[in-house]
Structure formats: C-alpha cells, structure tokens
Amino acid sequence: MKNIEFPIFKTKIEGVDKKFDMTDAEERKAYFDAKAGDEIARLREYLKENSFIVYMLGKKNSGKGTYAKMFKEIVDKDRIEHVSMGDMVRELDEVVADKDKLEMFTKELKKTYRGYLPLDDIIASMKNRSTKTLLPSELILALVKMKISEQPKKALFIDGFPRQLDQISYSLFFRDLIGYRDDPDAFVLIDIPENVIDERIKYRVVCPKCQTSRNLKLLPTKDVVHDANDEFKLLCDNSECSKEELAPKEGDELGIEPIRERLKVDEDLIKKAFSLHGIPKVLLRNSVPVDKAEEYVDSYEITPAFSYEKEGEAIKTNEKPYEVEDDEGVLSYSLMPPPVVLSLIKQLVEAFGI
C-alpha cells in the first residue's frame, strides 16, 4: 500500500519441515501448534482473566472476517468474539420490517444513542431505504455498544469499524465508552493487492439453490464440468445440496470497478489509523514478493490458482502458485489465510506484552 510499508512477515521456521494441508481443520491446528504453539498457550492463559479489543481495518473483501474467525478457531472459541459491522448493519433491514422487533430495537437504542439527528427521523429513514447507504456515525456507535452489551466480557475483533474517517477518533476512546477501561486495544491493518480483490469478485460463483460460494480460479469444488459453450463450471459440493451448477452473480464480471470509491475510503481509513499515536498497530500483508518467497514462507502457505483442461472425456485440474502484481507493481504470491493469521497471533502477543 502506498505511503505505508507493510513488512514481510517470516512464517518459515527452521526445523518445521512438514507440509501441512491448509484446507483441513486438523492440519491447520497442527500447523499453528508447530509454528506458534508458545504464543497460543500464552494467549489462552491471558484470556482466562483478561481480554482485549482489536479493530480490523482492511479494504472490502480483504479477509477481515476470515482472519478474525480463524484466530478465534485456533486460540479460544469461548473467550473471543467476532463482531461484524457489515452483518450488524444488514440485519437492520430485517428489524425495520418487523413491527415487534423494531419496537424492541428502538427501546434499546434509546439507551445508548447520542447524536445530532433525531432517532425517530433515523428510524423513519431506515424504513424507506436500504441500509446499504452509510448510516450516521453516532448510530453506528450505539449499535456496537448494544451488540457488545449482549454478551459477557470477551476479547473482541471488531470487523469493519471505524467505517468512516470521523469514526477513527471515536475508536480511540471506545473502550472507555463500553466499560473495557483496563483492556489493551490495537488496530489491525491489512494490506492486500487490489488485483486479488478484483479476481475474488470476477471468478466468484454461487449455488442458485443453497447460496454456497466458491471461486473458479481460487477456491474450486471437487466436481468440475465442461458445458456446451466450452466453459468449465463448478458443481456445488455442499453435502446438503444436490450438485447444482454454480454461476456468477450479475455484475461480478466488473470486478472492483463498482466499488472503487469504497476501496479509496478504506485505504484512507487505513492511512489515518496508521498515523495515530498511542495505539499499537499490527500490519498484515496478504502477499509476498516472488523473489523473496523462498526465504520467508513455505510453499504450501502460498495460495494456489486453478485452471482446467479437457483430457478426452475427463477434466484435468491444474494447480500453480497464485501470482499477482501488488499495488506497487511488484510480482507477488498471494498467501493463504493461515500464514496471515500466524502473523496476527505473533504480532498481537508482542503488541500486548502477553
């Protein structure tokens, strides 16, 4: 990312020679035990009596939720909570459509909301439009406070907050507002090439029946077919579905073009957060330059890219390391989620002095 140097984190560890399957839950657990067992043990011990707050900042589709959920899976499912602002805002559409839910929601919101716009006006506006439109910062603050109050004190990964530049300053004092006065907090800033985001969108395919999402290039299913239009298609591998043919969503062929403005806002948020003093920053990068990969990462930590070809009546799936140009034009490999989360674990332990 321009103007911020995201260092390359070395996940290659001398003496750890096994090749782990990053797609298998048990193999992932063994991978983390081998490469960060000590740090994970210290985190678990710390979380028995303490907690922390992490603000996840990254561009849309940068993996914020994936990294937070994997951290929770590996470290402590019971003492860590992932709070998604995107999910919270989307749930409002369902709330405003239900009279009883809206009444209860409004009652609770009045306890925490403080803002310049009358709450009744905001509720009325929400009834008349989609929550895809950005909501007032004061309402976002109240929503987060409500969400946190619903659960016991835990370590929190807040995904998607701050959402606007004016919310950066709010986040500095947010732990005071919600009763986490003694908890350490940190910004986690994620750097990912826009080319990766673009191809995650362009090659995304979804099951029309169960909505299972995969990616023709980056996350295929086991079953691939070749249709009459000379195109390769994935079949749904959800065990509760019926092998429907996965198809792209309308507009996905445009990639990042429709969200360029949002990506610019996200980049400005990251830069603004990076410039703040008094709060630790954890810098995660999704990629490693090709010419440095052998030194810093193991080959199985690199994201594979898939292509297909006909071999008689059969279909052959080809696999190779996923190469992209980063935002500086440097040819790089995209990384699988586990090595990025490994970096997150080690950096948080250091940042919080655990």
Q: How does DSSP assign 259-279, residue by residue?
A: GHHHHHHHHHHHHHHHT-SSS
Among the ranges given (238-242, 267-271, 330-334), the one the predictor scored with the smallest mean pLDDT: 238-242
pLDDT value at position 183? 76
* Per-residue model confidence (pLDDT) at position 129: 61
Closest CA to 74 of 351, 346, 353, 352: 346
Give the per-residue pLDDT at 323.
Answer: 97
Report the pLDDT value the prediction gives residue 290, as an integer from 0 to 100: 98
pLDDT band at residue 234, thresholds of 50, 70 and 90? very high
DSSP 317: E
Q: How far apart are CA 280 and CA 286, in angstroms?
A: 20
Q: Please give the helix or strand (H or E) that residue 215 lies within, else none.
A: strand 213-215
What tokens does 205 get? 């395919």
Range from 10-24, 129-143, 242-256 carrying the lowest mean pLDDT: 129-143
Q: Which residue has the higher pLDDT, 93 or 225?
A: 225
Highest mean pLDDT among 75-89, 216-230, 338-352: 338-352
Using CA atoms in the order 72, 320, 308, 243, what is the torsion angle rounded to 10 degrees?
A: -10
Q: In the predicted model, is pLDDT for residue 308 greater than 80?
A: yes
Angle at 199 between CA 198 and CA 202, to 5 degrees: 90
| 252-278: average pLDDT | 90
Rounded Cα distance between 52 and 150, Å, is 17
Least confident of 134-148, 272-286, 323-337: 134-148
CA–centroid distance for 347 within its chain = 17
The residues pairing with 57 across neighbouring beta strands, listed in sequence order, are 189
Question: Can you give the pLDDT at residue 176?
Answer: 54
pLDDT-based confidence at 254, cuts 50/70/90? Answer: very high
Each domain of the chain, given as residue ranges in start order, spans: 25-79+154-352
pLDDT of residue 169: 61
The 10s digit of each residue's pLDDT in 176-214 is 555 555 678 899 999 999 999 999 999 999 999 998 899
If you write DSSP's letter for every residue of 245-259 in order, what string do you get? Answer: BPBPPTTGGGTTGGG
Distance (Å, rounded) from C-alpha 204 to C-alpha 220? 10
Q: How far is CA 145 from CA 142, 180, 230, 261, in A?
A: 5, 11, 52, 28
Predicted confidence at residue 145, as pLDDT, reads 75
Share of the chain above pLDDT 90, in %: 54
pLDDT class of 171 with cuts at 50, 70, 90: low
Which of 142-146, 165-169, 193-197 has the highest mean predicted lDDT (pLDDT)? Answer: 193-197
CA atoms within 13 A of residue 317's CA, in its CB half-sphere: 16
Distance CA 85, CA 259 (A): 18
Q: Are the CB atoms for 343 and 63 separated by under 8 Å?
A: no
For residue 211, what is the DSSP state? -
Beta carbons within 8 Å of 199's beta carbon, 6+ residues apart: 215, 217, 218, 255, 324
Q: What is the mean pLDDT of residues 11-38?
A: 94
Asked: is 25-79+154-352 a CATH 3.30.420 domain? The reply is no
Say whether 148 sits in a helix, a strand or coil: helix
- How far apart CA 327 and CA 1 sit, in angstroms, is 6
Angle between helices 137-149 and 99-112 (to 10 degrees): 100
Computed over its alpha carbons, how large is the radius of gyration of the chain?
22
pLDDT at 277 > cutoff 90: no
Mean pLDDT, rounded, of the chain: 87
pLDDT tens readout for residues 94-111: 887 788 888 888 888 877
Q: What is the mean pLDDT of residues 248-269?
A: 92
Task: Enter the pTM of the model.
Answer: 0.87
User: What is the Cα–Cα distance from 233 to 237, expressed in whole angstroms?
Assistant: 12
Amino acid at 22: M
What pLDDT shows up at residue 313? 83
